[in-house]
Amino acid sequence: MTQTTDTNLIIGILALQGAFVEHEMALQKLPIQKKIDVVLVRTPGELARCQALVIPGGESTTIALLARLSGLLEPLREFVRVKPVWGTCAGAILLAKAVVGAKKGGQELLGGMSITIARNGWGSQLESFEADLDVTGLRDSERPFTGIFIRAPVVLTLEPSLEDPPIHVVSRLSPSLLPESLTSSNSTPEPKSFVALRQGHHFLTTFHPELTRDNRFHEYFVRECVLPSISPPRP
């Protein structure tokens, strides 16, 4: 086990279901000065050690159920209230304020981001696809990022209150790539084209950055969400 020091970053990955190993590998290879210690989180005690958390893709209803059975659901909700969290695909659903298209019986959410999101917004797994994404704020922002969308959710609305931090669009999909079901002649496709959003120290991507060899989104999360949250306030 890696020895942790006060100068290391301790980032957890919820490891109940989904692509948590791929996130672990990406975080350990980041080109940043601070060393990152990754904790695979399956218990409240492991969560309590973390300064930030990644919730991977998978199946959002299953992740929520396993979190409840593991005694993690309420600790996760408290963690989201005070610490940085990044949700990818299913994790993005869990960070939303509301969800459309939930399974029968509903969908338990963690909250944290002032959005409404739709499950499986692109259709079934047969409609999975890859696309070049425009990015803002990432290293080498002029270089597109290849987004991998697998039964991906779709952002329907942004609903920040006056008290909420502003929502920043970090990446979007070209409107020409949106399916007809997500567009209409009477409205623009936004925010349905938004695929990466940051609000305060929370971050979501509706696709799977961890399934590529490009770790710029992992670097962005650490730089823009994690490090500012643990830095002492300026005098």
89 is catalytic: yes
Rounded CA separation 209/216 (Å): 8
**Is 42 annotated as ligand-binding?**
no
| β-strand partners of 80 | none
* 119 among annotated binding-site residues: yes
- Given 22, 210, 219, 224, the catalytic residue: 210
Question: Do residues 224 and 141 make contact, with C-beta atoms less than 8 angstroms apart?
Answer: no
For residue 58, say whether it is annotated as part of any ligand binding site: yes
Does the annotation flag 11 for ligand binding? no
**Residue 151 annotated as binding site:** yes
Helix (H, G, I), strand (E, B) or coil at 100: strand
Catalytic residue (one of 23, 201, 202, 208): 208
Helices (H), 112-226: 216-220
> Catalytic one among 89, 219, 224, 225?
89
| Position 67, amino acid | A
* Residue tagged 């994404």 (tokens): 133
At residue 41, what are phi and psi to the nearest 5 degrees?
A: -90, 120
150 annotated ligand-binding residue: yes
Tokens standing for 53? 């958390």
Q: Is 218 a catalytic residue?
A: no
Calculate helix-pair angle for 60-69, 73-82, nearest 10 degrees.
110
For residue 81, what are its two tokens?
A: 């209230």
Helix (H) or strand (E) holding 15: none
Residue type, 165: P
Is 202 considered catalytic here? no
User: Would you list which residues are annotated within the binding site for L-glutamine?
Assistant: 58-60, 119, 150-151
Task: Write out the catalytic residue numbers.
Answer: 89, 208, 210
Residue list for the binding site: 58-60, 119, 150-151
